[in-house]
């Protein structure tokens, strides 16, 4: 359809991007508005997304594209709170349950954490799917409920679904990208994430940009480009934004799957948990508190139980029972090592796909997930193993899924003879002034 209001039409805009021309702000505004209103149909927006995928966008274009997606809906405003607001966003990885201990930890240190999250699609799990493993817990809150929880001095952290009014253009565009092979475009990913985070009304934002086999960004150059683009967009919108590039070659922690990940998050909140998960939780908490202007050591709140108290308050505030038993799978199967050795690598993508095939993830929007399904790891890089020792336990309610999950894990582990020290999960830090400090 060629709607020529305001002198623009979709075909000319698609052709301009196809031919490598920079789009004007007026063209971007028109396209996003017409798409949101249903004047520009899916096939034209899909064609533009593909042209953007191949031609990219300048920083000016991507900043304006983000602004236009924010303007397609409403913005939340927490400026009336008596505490600074700060949020974290991860670009997604296998076993990434960091939001679970992080949000209550940062709230226990004096910030308000408004975390609007999504459900998982494909091999990476969604934070809401994980929390929905807790009996009674509710992801859908009204704006008034969100404001009440955030302003309650005993809670101060909320993890909930983004309402339909938040960047609706992104919701429609993301669903289209998902079925047109245009998800993996740096300007489209950056504008998608940042439009929701800016519309959410946070004062400061820390981005966890994952890089490696289990992440969107498979190499460091792309991860740097994505991080710089998002930090620029945040700074342009007046949101203090910092990014950490973190490793996603191996799964984070020892579990992938909804209830399994909640159990591990509880271990971290109780002062235990896997070293990489604790390290990353504290690194992100320090960045968030720094971005919020709070000079507090989060390790103390993790140690003395204040973070666990906040977790309990946060779960209760959303209808969950923090004392209820988490669901367990009806069937398990254990994979064992064939030879002695030291684990040299464990492929994150293989573990993510196995967990997904066991029922922890969905293949289409709206599908139900199994709360108890997933992979529990027993050996990660650096760990010595003996022949016959367990490498992983697979959990599912539907045992016919074991075969394909085991197929995904066939070559997941590699072994060496020498002990290796696992690398720090934080690779680099990208700040608003562009300084990049390799960790």
- DSSP symbol at 124: B
Kindly indicate which of the ranges 148-156, 187-195, 279-287, 342-350 contains the residues binding ligand URA, using the contact rule CB under 6 A.
187-195
The residue from 72, 117, 192, 258 that contacts ligand URA (CB under 6 A) is 192
Assess 193 for contact with ligand URA (CB under 6 A).
yes
CB closer to ligand URA out of 167 and 405: 167
**Residues noted as catalytic:** 89, 170, 177, 192, 196
CB closer to ligand URA out of 113 and 189: 189
Of the candidates 214, 170, 217, 228, which has an alpha carbon nearest to the alpha carbon of residue 347?
214
CB closer to ligand URA out of 174 and 413: 174
Largest Cα–Cα distance in the chain?
71
Binding mask of the shown chain, residues 409 to 438, with x at each position contacting ligand URA by CB under 6 A: ------------------------------
At residue 209, the 3 state secondary structure works out as strand
CB closer to ligand URA out of 124 and 370: 124
Tell me the number of residues near ligand URA by CB under 6 A. 6
At residue 392, the 3 state secondary structure works out as strand
Q: What is the DSSP string of 240-287?
A: EEEEEEEE-SS-STTEESHHHHHHHHHHHHTT-S-HHHHHHHHHHHHH
CB environment 402-427: b (16+ within 10 A), e (fewer)? beebbebbeebbebeeeeeeeeebbb
CB closer to ligand URA out of 174 and 356: 174
Angle at 90 between CA 99 and CA 155, to 5 degrees: 30
Kindly indicate which of the ranges 48-56, 119-127, 181-189, 327-335 contains the residues binding ligand URA, using the contact rule CB under 6 A.
181-189
CB closer to ligand URA out of 103 and 188: 188
Are the C-beta atoms of residues 264 and 253 closer than 8 Å to each other?
yes
CB within 8 A of 186, min separation 6: which ones? Answer: 56, 222, 225, 226, 229
Min. distance of Cβ 193 from ligand URA in angstroms? 5
Binding mask of the shown chain, residues 124 to 163, with x at each position contacting ligand URA by CB under 6 A: ----------------------------------------
Are the C-beta atoms of residues 138 and 131 closer than 8 Å to each other?
no
Min. distance of Cβ 355 from ligand URA in angstroms? 18
Of the candidates 78, 239, 76, which has an alpha carbon nearest to the alpha carbon of residue 165?
76
The residue from 30, 65, 174, 356 that contacts ligand URA (CB under 6 A) is 174
The residue from 189, 269, 337, 373 that contacts ligand URA (CB under 6 A) is 189
Min. distance of Cβ 317 from ligand URA in angstroms? 25
Between CA 306 and CA 35 the distance in angstroms is 46
Min. distance of Cβ 331 from ligand URA in angstroms? 32
User: What are the residues facing 346 on neighbouring strands?
Assistant: 413
Measured from each CB, the residue nearest to ligand URA is 192
Kindly indicate which of the ranges 153-161, 188-196, 249-257, 370-378 contains the residues binding ligand URA, using the contact rule CB under 6 A.
188-196
Between the two ends of the chain, the Cα-to-Cα distance in Å is 51
Kindly indicate which of the ranges 46-54, 184-192, 391-399, 413-421 contains the residues binding ligand URA, using the contact rule CB under 6 A.
184-192
Contacts within 8 Å (CB) and 24+ apart, 1-6: 1/39, 1/40, 1/41, 1/44, 3/34, 3/39, 3/40, 5/30, 5/34, 6/30
Kindly indicate which of the ranges 68-76, 186-194, 269-277, 393-401 contains the residues binding ligand URA, using the contact rule CB under 6 A.
186-194
CB closer to ligand URA out of 113 and 209: 209
Q: In the complex, which residues of this chain contact ligand URA (CB under 6 A)?
A: 174, 183, 188-189, 192-193
């Amino acid at each position: 359809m060629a709607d020529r209001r305001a002198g623009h039409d979709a075909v000319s805009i698609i052709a301009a991007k196809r031919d490598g021309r920079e789009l004007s702000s007026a063209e971007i505004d028109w396209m996003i508005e017409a798409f949101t209103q249903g004047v520009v149909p899916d096939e034209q927006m899909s064609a533009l997304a593909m042209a953007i995928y191949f031609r990219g966008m300048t920083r000016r274009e991507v900043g304006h594209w983000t602004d236009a997606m924010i303007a397609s809906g409403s913005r939340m405003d927490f400026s009336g709170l008596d505490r600074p607001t700060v949020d974290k966003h991860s670009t997604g990885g296998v076993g990434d349950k960091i939001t679970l201990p992080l949000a209550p930890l940062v709230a226990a240190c004096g910030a308000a954490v408004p975390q609007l999250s999504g459900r998982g699609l494909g091999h990476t799990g969604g934070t809401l799917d994980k929390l929905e493993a807790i009996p009674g817990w509710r992801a859908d809150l009204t704006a008034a409920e969100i404001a009440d929880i955030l302003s309650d001095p005993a809670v101060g952290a909320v993890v909930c679904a983004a309402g339909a009014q938040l960047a609706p253009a992104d919701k429609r565009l993301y669903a289209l990208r998902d079925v047109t092979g245009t998800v993996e475009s740096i300007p489209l990913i950056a504008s998608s994430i940042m439009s929701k985070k800016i519309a959410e009304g946070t004062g400061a934002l820390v981005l966890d940009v994952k890089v490696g086999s289990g992440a969107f960004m498979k190499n460091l150059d792309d991860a740097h480009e994505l991080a710089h683009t998002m930090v620029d967009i945040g700074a342009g919108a007046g949101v203090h934004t910092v990014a950490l590039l973190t490793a996603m070659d191996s799964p984070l922690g020892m579990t992938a799957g909804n209830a399994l990940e909640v159990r591990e998050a509880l271990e971290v909140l109780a002062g235990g948990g896997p070293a990489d998960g604790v390290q990353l939780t504290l690194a992100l908490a320090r960045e968030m508190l720094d971005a919020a202007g709070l000079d507090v050591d989060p390790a103390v709140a993790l140690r003395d139980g204040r973070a666990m108290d906040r977790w309990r308050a946060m779960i209760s505030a959303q209808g969950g029972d923090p004392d209820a038993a988490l669901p367990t799978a009806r069937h398990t199967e254990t994979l064992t090592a064939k030879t002695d050795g030291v684990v040299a690598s464990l492929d994150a993508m293989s573990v993510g796909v196995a967990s997904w095939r066991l029922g922890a993830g969905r293949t289409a929007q709206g599908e139900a997930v199994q709360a108890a399904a997933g992979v529990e790891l027993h050996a990660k890089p650096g760990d010595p193993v003996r022949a016959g020792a367990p490498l992983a336990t697979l959990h599912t309610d539907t045992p016919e899924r074991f075969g394909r999950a085991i197929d995904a894990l066939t070559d997941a582990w590699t072994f060496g003879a020498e002990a290796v020290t696992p690398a720090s999960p934080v690779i680099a830090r990208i700040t608003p002034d562009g300084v990049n400090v390799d960790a």
